[in-house]
Structure 1
Amino acid sequence: MIIIIGNQKGGAGKSTFALVLANFLSQTKNCAVTVIDMDYQQSIAQKFEKAKILENAEPYEVVPANLESYPYLRELLCKNAKDIILIDLPGKLDDDGLIPVFNSADLVICPFSYDEFTFQSTVLFTVVMKRINPEINMVFVPNRIKSNARYEIMLEVNEQLSRFGKITAVLPDRIDFQRVTTFYTPVSLQTVTTSVLEQIYNDYLYGKNEITG
């Protein structure tokens, strides 16, 4: 299964969410996971290389890549249908190299926040995705939401996005997210992310990707 984590808006937290999801799937659900880091900053790949120095066995592989190398990578990595490929997408929509990535995806997870600019970027990303891959399942994750903030457009945003896919529970804005590595999600974060991750797993992955034997 190929899962895209993406949004055109930078700062939506997609790279960190990709790490949290990879940790959850590999360590809690015993899934075979590979992360393809296509983000320009390559933050996941950098954390992976740094963590390898300190740890023993990696729970999953992280592959730095670009759009041009994706067709080759897809053929190489998708030989086992039970494997989960997580793609941290670059934050842009103006490259034709995205079309093969969009067409091959089984699920798109889109972190976003409740502000007008991010909402517009999220809708644009969604419309482009649906135009290229009309049958794709989409999940929208309200991310980095401040507990004491009032979001006047929340109802409108939820109403609009629910036309394209499911909206999960909110993930709060917490400093703990900066401590996530390719080996470790802080226990304090697990308590607030588990319900969202379980929802995604149960709705789209349950029974399909566990390692057996």
Structure 2
Amino acid sequence: MVIIIGNQKGGAGKSTLTLLLANFLTLAKKRTVTVIDMDYQQSIAGKYEKAKLLENAEPYEVIAASLEHYPVMLSILTQNKEQIVIIDLPGKLDDDGLIPVFQSADLVICPFAYDEFSFDSTVLFSVVLKKINANAPINYIPNRIKGNVKYETQKEVEEQLSKFGDISTPLPDRIDFQRTNTFQTPLSVYPLIIPVFEKIYEKYLLASN
């Protein structure tokens, strides 16, 4: 199964969400996962190499790769039907190299915020994705949401995005999310991510088995 985590807008929290999902699937669900870090900053690959230097046991492999490498890698990675491939996409849409990535997606997870700029980027990302792969379900995750802020656009944003896919329970803006790495998620974060990831797991991953 191929899961892509993306949005055109940078700073949506794609890389942290990728780590959280990979840790959840390997540590809580005992699934076989490979993460492909295609983000320009390659922060996940950096954390992975740092964890190896510290001799931490990695629950999954992280591969730093560019878009042009993907078609060959996909044919190798998908030989194992039990394998879950999670891709942290670059924050852009203007590269034809994204087409085979979008085409291969079995599930798209899209973090977003309720501000107008994030919403516009999220809709554009969704429209492009659906033109390339109309069958891939999209699951939106409101991310880094501040609990003491009233979002005027929330209802309108959710109405528009629900035309493209499902919207998860929001994830709050908390500093302990940033302590997630390639071998563990802080225990304090689990009560927040379990309601989001359990629904995604049951609806999309168990259904695909």
After TM superposition, the score normalised by the length of structure 1 is 0.96
Aligned residue runs from structure 1 range 134-153, under 5 A:
134-153=134-153
Contact 2:57 / 2:183 at 8 angstroms: preserved in 1? Answer: no
- Shift of the 103–207 alpha-carbon distance from structure 1 to 2, 3 Å rule, reads closer
Matched to 1:14, the amino acid is K
- Shift of the 207–135 alpha-carbon distance from structure 1 to 2, 3 Å rule, reads closer
Aligned residue runs from structure 1 range 74-93, under 5 A:
74-93=74-93
Say yes or no: does 1:119 pair with 2:113. no
RMSD: 0.9
Aligned residue runs from structure 1 range 56-135, under 5 A:
56-135=56-135
**Equivalent-residue separation in structure 2 for 1:111 and 1:6 (angstroms):** 7
Contact 1:34 / 1:86 at 8 angstroms: preserved in 2? Answer: yes
**Equivalent-residue separation in structure 1 for 2:58 and 2:186 (angstroms):** 17
CA offsets, 1:158-197, max 9 Å, x none?
A: 0000000000001000000110000010011111111101
Q: Which runs of 5+ in 1 are unaligned?
A: none
**Equivalent-residue separation in structure 1 for 2:91 and 2:207 (angstroms):** 31
Matched to 2:130, the amino acid is K
CA offsets, 1:68-108, max 9 Å, x none?
A: 00011101111011110000000000000000000011000
Q: Secondary structure at the match of 1:10?
A: coil
Q: CA deviation at 1:156?
A: 0.3
Q: CA deviation at 1:207?
A: 6.2
Matched to 2:107, the amino acid is L
CA offsets, 1:37-69, max 9 Å, x none?
A: 000000000000001122343100000000000
Say yes or no: does 1:182 pair with 2:182. yes
**Equivalent-residue separation in structure 1 for 2:191 and 2:137 (angstroms):** 26
**Equivalent-residue separation in structure 1 for 2:31 and 2:161 (angstroms):** 29
Alignment: residue pair count:
209
Say yes or no: does 1:43 pair with 2:29. no
CA offsets, 1:113-146, max 9 Å, x none?
A: 0100000000000000000001110000000000
Contact 1:106 / 1:136 at 8 angstroms: preserved in 2? Answer: yes
- List structure 1 segments (4+ residues) > 4 angstroms apart after TM superposition: none
**Equivalent-residue separation in structure 1 for 2:159 and 2:81 (angstroms):** 34
Same amino acid, percent of matched pairs = 65
Contact 1:82 / 1:208 at 8 angstroms: preserved in 2? Answer: no
Partner residue in 1 for 2:203: 203
Matched to 2:199, the amino acid is Q
Does 73-82 or 83-92 show the bigger shift? 73-82
Matched to 2:173, the amino acid is D
Q: Which runs of 5+ in 2 are unaligned?
A: none
Does 10-19 or 56-65 show the bigger shift? 56-65
Aligned residue runs from structure 1 range 164-183, under 5 A:
164-183=164-183
Partner residue in 1 for 2:163: 163
